């Protein structure tokens, strides 16, 4: 469809190895010099269960899945009805099916794609130790035009230590699949890999967020596991251990957020990662961090909600709790990465902002970015690192919450002689002594609001692309499909500007007004059921009269075509 990419879905029930085949395909694409993206769709089973590896391989960097898959390789049809909706196919797509697994089932057949048979199971059974997924992978590689050598080199690297026999079996199955594919109908093929000399990284959004935290200066993490945020912690645990920091598993999120508050109070940049249910448990103590002016970072990898919701699938519906969830007037930071590489930049920036402003920052990532892997160019170095305004020793009559021009007061770190004070979530005076006086409440509320409002966030508050009378305003993982849609719309002669908000809180009215100057129509694109982002924009920003909204809940991703169609209808 797009002309520079090919999309492949590999599906199968537990044990078929769809995810493994997908990982190998992505690694091989990287070796061959392509860019790419892989997300996964998993069933609720703890182990096994149906799985789909959803890939898009491209000759240039991409940030979104395509509208449909060019090739669907089904190792079997177990539980296909559960995720068929996530596997859209076009008329010229090809479904590769094993005749032993029966007819193409109805939920897939409705797409009206071409189908071809490949007896993957029987081919595999003819090879000692041969596996179905390797046969399918060999066929897929030939069909999309990915050099088999690149897969072989990945196999050698990954299976080499499992011994000659395992490697030989995988290689034989791969080649058998590739040979069998010669007579199959053709599929969209990959173009030539760019020889741009750019070092490729293969990284997930969750790993990127962990790396961003580390590069920002985080040295202490306390956390409680939760899908889909756990991989942030799994990456950080050994990384912190190797670089002089520490990660501690807490008994729950009430403990983890408070341990982080303790770590930060003690002077060590501290963070945690969680998902919606954990963020809900943390909100009381996030208010404590606001009131006591204790910097910290919470990475929330959003999943379908409310309640336990859909733990394994994405949604942007924690926006409201992140923005409005704290009791009292509690100004804080909400930062949203809008791509897998931005999970690194935005998290690193959030550490910098939290530390500079002595307040908590919530980073709103989501499952779609967190658990997706991308082949990206090696990210450039970002200058943002933790730098806290600390108090020198022995300040006479030290006031922890002194009213200053910037609203930021020097923080005395335990161990600093002469400035001992008690941090407090009770309203307090400048010294930190509890106070219920109206004047202290007013001045400390003003201070905490002012320090966020007066800070210069530079250009990073949003990514703005293009200039036109139509603007698409979006955030987070909805940004990828918007970017792709705008490229396609341009090819059709429709110009639109993109405004993707990275800084959700504090709001930036002047910057938004400038960005919307001359804009007559706004299309809001988000992944929630109740238009949380649209309502947030309405509450805080002046939008033109003509506003349309694409807002759908997870787990289905927003497709570029939908956005293009909406823009075309407007014209």
Which parts of this chain interact with another protein (CB under 8 A)? 27, 30-31, 199-203, 207, 211, 214-215, 219-220, 222, 239, 241-248, 250-252, 254-268, 270, 284-285, 287-288, 292, 375, 378, 412, 414-426, 432-434
> Closest distance between another protein and the C-beta of residue 246, in Å?
4
> Closest distance between another protein and the C-beta of residue 207, in Å?
7
| Distance (Å, whole) CA 402 – CA 400 | 6
| Distance (Å, whole) CA 435 – CA 429 | 6
| Distance (Å, whole) CA 449 – CA 300 | 23
Q: For Cα atoms 208, 247, 320, give the angle at the middle one, nearest 5 degrees.
A: 60
- Of 239 and 452, the one with the shorter C-beta distance to another protein is 239
**Strands 220-223 and 497-501, bridge-based pairing:** unpaired
> Closest distance between another protein and the C-beta of residue 71, in Å?
23
> Closest distance between another protein and the C-beta of residue 178, in Å?
22
- Of 259 and 471, the one with the shorter C-beta distance to another protein is 259
> Closest distance between another protein and the C-beta of residue 143, in Å?
23
Tell me 428's DSSP state.
B
> Closest distance between another protein and the C-beta of residue 327, in Å?
11
- Of 242 and 517, the one with the shorter C-beta distance to another protein is 242
- Of 315 and 424, the one with the shorter C-beta distance to another protein is 424
**Strands 220-223 and 270-274, bridge-based pairing:** parallel
CB-CB neighbours of 227 under 10 Å:
18
> Closest distance between another protein and the C-beta of residue 543, in Å?
38
Query: Does residue 150 sit in helix, strand or coil?
Result: helix
Cβ–Cβ under 8 Å, residues 71 and 9: yes
Extract the runs of DSSP E, i.e. beta strands, from 328-399: 333-335, 360-366, 373-377
Residue with tokens 């600093």: 416
| Distance (Å, whole) CA 19 – CA 13 | 10
- Of 394 and 530, the one with the shorter C-beta distance to another protein is 394
Q: Which of 71, 60, 59 is nearest to 10 (CA)?
A: 71
| Distance (Å, whole) CA 522 – CA 496 | 9
- Of 123 and 297, the one with the shorter C-beta distance to another protein is 297
> Closest distance between another protein and the C-beta of residue 263, in Å?
4
| Distance (Å, whole) CA 310 – CA 42 | 11
- Of 92 and 153, the one with the shorter C-beta distance to another protein is 153
Q: Is 251 exposed, middle or buried (0-12, 13-18, 19+ CB in 10 A)?
A: exposed
CA-CA-CA-CA dihedral for 555, 559, 563, 566, to nearest 10: -80
> Closest distance between another protein and the C-beta of residue 32, in Å?
10
- Of 404 and 435, the one with the shorter C-beta distance to another protein is 435
> Closest distance between another protein and the C-beta of residue 431, in Å?
9
- Of 239 and 516, the one with the shorter C-beta distance to another protein is 239
- Of 31 and 451, the one with the shorter C-beta distance to another protein is 31
- Of 199 and 405, the one with the shorter C-beta distance to another protein is 199
| Distance (Å, whole) CA 490 – CA 460 | 25
Q: Report long-range pairs for 321-327 (Cβ below 8 Å, ≥24 apart).
A: 321/276, 321/279, 321/280, 321/283, 322/279, 322/362, 322/364, 322/504, 322/505, 323/504, 323/505, 323/536, 325/279, 325/280, 325/283, 325/286, 326/283, 326/286, 326/287, 326/290, 327/283, 327/284, 327/287
> Closest distance between another protein and the C-beta of residue 245, in Å?
8
Tell me 406's DSSP state.
S
């Amino acid at each position: 469809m797009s002309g520079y990419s090919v999309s492949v879905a590999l599906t199968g029930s537990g044990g078929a190895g769809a995810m493994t085949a997908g990982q190998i395909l992505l690694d091989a694409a990287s070796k061959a010099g392509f860019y790419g993206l892989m997300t996964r769709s998993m069933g609720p089973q703890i182990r096994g269960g149906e799985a789909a590896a959803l890939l898009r391989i491209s000759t240039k960097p991409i940030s979104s899945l395509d509208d449909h898959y060019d090739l669907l390789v089904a190792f079997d049809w177990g539980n296909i009805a559960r995720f068929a909706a996530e596997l859209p196919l076009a008329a010229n797509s090809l479904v590769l099916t094993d005749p032993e697994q029966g007819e193409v089932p109805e939920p897939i057949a409705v797409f009206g794609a071409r189908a071809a048979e490949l007896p993957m199971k029987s081919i595999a059974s003819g090879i000692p130790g041969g596996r179905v997924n390797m046969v399918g992978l060999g066929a897929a590689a030939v069909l999309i035009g990915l050099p088999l050598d690149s897969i072989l080199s990945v196999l050698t690297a990954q299976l080499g230590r499992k011994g000659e026999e395992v490697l030989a079996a995988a290689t034989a199955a791969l080649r058998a699949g590739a040979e069998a594919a010669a007579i199959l109908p053709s599929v969209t093929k990959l173009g030539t890999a760019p020889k741009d000399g750019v070092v490729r990284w293969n990284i997930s959004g969750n790993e990127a967020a962990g790396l961003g935290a580390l590069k920002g200066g985080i040295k202490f993490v306390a956390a409680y596991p939760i899908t889909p945020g756990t991989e942030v912690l799994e990456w950080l645990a050994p990384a912190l251990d190797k670089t002089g920091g520490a990660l501690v598993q807490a008994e729950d999120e009430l403990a983890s957020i408070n341990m982080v508050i303790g770590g930060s109070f003690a002077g060590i940049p501290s963070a945690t990662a969680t998902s919606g249910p954990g963020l809900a448990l943390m909100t009381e103590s996030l208010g404590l961090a606001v009131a006591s002016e204790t910097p910290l970072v919470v990475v929330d990898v959003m999943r379908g909600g409310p309640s336990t919701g859909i733990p394994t699938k994405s949604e942007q519906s924690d926006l409201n709790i992140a923005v409005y969830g704290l009791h009292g007037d509690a100004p804080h930071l909400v930062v949203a990465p809008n791509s897998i590489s931005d999970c690194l930049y935005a998290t690193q920036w959030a550490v910098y902002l939290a530390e500079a402003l002595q307040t908590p920052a919530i980073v709103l990532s989501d499952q779609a970015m967190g658990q997706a892997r991308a082949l990206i160019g090696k990210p450039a170095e970002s200058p943002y690192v933790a730098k806290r305004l600390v108090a020198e020793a022995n300040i006479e009559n030290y006031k922890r919450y002194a009213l200053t021009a910037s609203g930021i007061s020097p923080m005395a770190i335990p161990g600093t002689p002469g400035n001992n004070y008690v941090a407090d979530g009770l309203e307090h005076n400048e010294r930190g002594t509890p106070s219920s006086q109206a004047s202290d409440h007013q001045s400390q509320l003003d201070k905490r609001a002012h320090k966020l409002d007066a800070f210069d966030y530079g250009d990073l508050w949003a990514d703005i692309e293009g200039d036109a009378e139509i603007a698409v305003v979006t955030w987070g993982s909805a940004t990828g499909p918007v970017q792709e849609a705008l490229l396609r719309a341009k090819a059709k002669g429709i110009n639109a500007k993109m405004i993707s908000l990275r800084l959700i809180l504090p709001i930036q009215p002047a910057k938004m007004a400038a960005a919307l100057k001359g804009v007559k129509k706004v299309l809001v694109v988000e992944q929630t059921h109740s238009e949380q982002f649209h309502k947030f924009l309405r509450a805080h920003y002046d939008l033109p009269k003509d506003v349309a909204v694409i807002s759908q809940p997870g787990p289905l991703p927003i497709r570029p075509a939908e956005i293009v169609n909406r823009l075309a209808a407007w014209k």
